[in-house]
Amino acid sequence: MGKFEKQAQELLDAIGGKENISAVTHCATRMRFVLNDDAKADKKKIENISTTKGMFTNAGQFQVIIGNDVATFYNDFSAVSGIEGVSKEAAKSAAKSNQNVVQKLVGTLSEIFTPLLPAIIVGGLILGFRNILEGVQIQALGQAVEDGVKKFTSEGVPVWNTITQVSPFWNGVNGFLWLPGEAIFHFLPVGIAWSVTRKMGTTQILGIVLGITLVSPQLLNAYAVNGTSAAEIAKNWSWDFGFFTMDKIGYQAQVIPAMAAGFLLAYLEKFFRKYIPEAVSMIFVPLFALLPTIIASHAIIGPIGWKIGQGISFVVNTGLTSSLSWLFGGIFGILYAPLVITGLHHTTLAIDAQLIADFKSTNLWPLIDLSNIAQGASVFAIYLLHRKNKKEAEISVPATISAWLGVTEPAMFGINLKYVYPFVAAMIGSGVAGMVSTLMGVRANSIGVGGLPGILAIRGEDMLKFILPMALAIVVPIILTFFFRQAGIFNKNDLVGAGDAAFASDPAILEGAQKIAKTEIPKGTFATVTSPLTGEVRVLATATDPVFSQGIMGQGVIIEPSEGILTAPFDGVISAFFPTKHAVGLISDEGVEVLIHIGMDTVKLDGKGFEAFVKQGDHVKRGQKLLTFDIDLIKNEGFIVETPVIVTNQDIFQPDAVGQLPRTIKSGEQLLTATKI
């Protein structure tokens, strides 16, 4: 039996069975499905599978987050389903039938840049380290530097210098590291042209050759163009064909010219392969595809693409350096996380690269980095709020670490989007931090490394300034997550595990519990809990929601109500009343804490069908009407109406069901007894 055979079978059933799967593959952390009908996937069941850490739909694929064991899980899934996986490319191709035009365009951009990310990340780390060597000032006692040569001051006064100025060794290291840094970023068009041909399924070596022709040493380096006069370019940096000339301009670090040229090459190759006989295609297809593309790249595509790229980077840079920069930075900080959901965030890589090419630094990347940090902070807050839930801790702790290292996917899709309010808290925190970052003029010399290590990409003179926005991106989301949860703002789905039993750890209930804890309750104290509902009472283990059925939140019973009237089960205080009215927490005068949760997932009704007659903090009498609810409406909306009645402070009181179960019960009849341990 495979390690995950049971969970794989559960996923197969929950996703709609073998017949609902058009294609399946996996990546580093996720199972990727192309489903015939997404509506057949039971997300609640999928979320309850022990190995599942979240799910989302993106780029036409239904993706289930498994984690580092996804390869083993995938093999077990193939075994139980009898479905042979396809390549990622085939899965993506199948998924395109579920995508609109915008999604296809964004998906294409993603597929071009994703293979380049390892190099970009490494390059970002290298340039970040060079930022430290060249930008961080250290105190060198009695040393001064003139023209790169160390000199001692006669007074022995401490002098502040960069590490490269003080140490010949680190100066040499800094110079050497420019070799891979230049290869990655200056020669980025080579990688882009290659990636386009790879994505289009054409000859990849031709893409590499095309990219080299855009950055050849024979061309005037793109970084030197602005400092070179038009007359000098015409004289020394142009090809003269007699009746016309063409500028010999390089496109180092330029994104749009390389992408456009790559697509032209791919389409020309596909065109000529259709019409040139196979016997001579090896000779003439590369010739007819590559040579016209190179000419068009330098005569038309390159100049136009450069202008477009410069225009985009100018608009972004102007927005982030204008008098309204704080507004631009705040809006982008808020909206970046939603862009990740849609996949549109891949466009920012191209903009960042263009900003670095045009201005030698980018003011956009710091905002992206702050968004990563903010998402991690909100997940950390959720962990603190739900730390007793072991299953969620298995997701939230790694997700926090991952987000703070620059990968927000597990945090966003595994936790924040499920609860909504931490996602909103992270967006706001990112916006606040983004406003401060732009006001302080923070810029990055490179891109690719995110999260807390992202400070390495920041310009040396801005590193210390960036600490404040980073701190705000951590503190603000944590505070807002706690506040939103307690106040019920954006908080309609605060679920622990598969259900919304996190309600039982609401601060109001905890506050009531603390008051009871401070009161001396004699051992053996006996309390009676009467039924708050009329209906059929069953053992708790039959509950649909495993959080209740497994007794995670406490012990008690399940009632299937036949009447929509909820009454008080004892004399006591309403310790908590959710704004959605679907659940009530009470504390009896003897100190028994009870949670009554009407239906499963009824939080999503947002109070529809419920009417309250009491409020939080009210003292109630046994049998007093607390609220009414429309059973038919709840069922018609697709929700289960079964209601757990549980004692949540079972460490203090031992609950015991009264009578044989299952049985019919009327409101006010004896349901449970609770004895002080």
pLDDT tens-place string over residues 406-427: 667 567 766 777 677 888 999 9
Average confidence (pLDDT) over 181-197: 87
Q: Which residue in the list 6, 9, 20, 27 is annotated as catalytic?
A: 27
Please give the structure tokens belonging to residue 491: 């908080």
The pTM of this model reads 0.48
With a CB cutoff of 8 Å and minimum separation 6, the contacts of 311 are: none
pLDDT recorded at residue 404: 84
Backbone angles phi, psi at 63, to 5 degrees: -110, 130
For domain 506-676, the CATH class is mainly beta
The confidence band for 344, taking pLDDT boundaries of 50, 70 and 90, is low
Q: What is the largest CA-CA distance in the chain?
A: 107
With a CB cutoff of 8 Å and minimum separation 6, the contacts of 77 are: 4, 8, 11, 12, 24, 31, 83
Average pLDDT, the chain: 79
Is residue 405 a contact partner of residue 452, using CB atoms and an 8 Å limit? yes
pLDDT recorded at residue 546: 62
Is pLDDT of 394 > 70? no
Q: What is the percent of the chain with per-residue pLDDT over 70, rounded to a whole number? A: 78
DSSP string across 610-639 = EEES--TT-EE-TT-EEEEE-HHHHHHTT-
Instruction: Give the residue extent of every domain in the chain.
Output: 5-98, 167-317, 323-487, 506-676
Is residue 27 part of the annotated active site? The answer reads yes
Average confidence (pLDDT) over 486-503: 51
H/E segment holding residue 481: helix 463-487
| Choice between 296 and 394, residue whose per-residue pLDDT is larger | 296
List pLDDT tens digits, range 504-529.
334 444 444 444 444 556 676 778 99
Q: Which of 214-218, 234-238, 311-315, 383-387 has the lowest mean pLDDT?
A: 311-315
| Choice between 30 and 646, residue whose per-residue pLDDT is larger | 646
Average confidence (pLDDT) over 362-368: 87
Is pLDDT of 369 > 60? yes
Please give the structure tokens belonging to residue 389: 């839930």
pLDDT recorded at residue 531: 95
pLDDT recorded at residue 428: 94
Highest mean pLDDT range out of 349-358, 363-372, 531-540? 531-540
List pLDDT tens digits, range 37-91.
888 888 888 888 888 877 777 656 788 888 667 778 888 898 888 876 544 444 4
Q: Does 3.30.1360.60 match the CATH number of domain 5-98?
A: yes
Average confidence (pLDDT) over 551-559: 81
Tell which residue, 590, 553, 556, has the closest CA to residue 573.
Answer: 590
Is pLDDT of 174 > 90? no
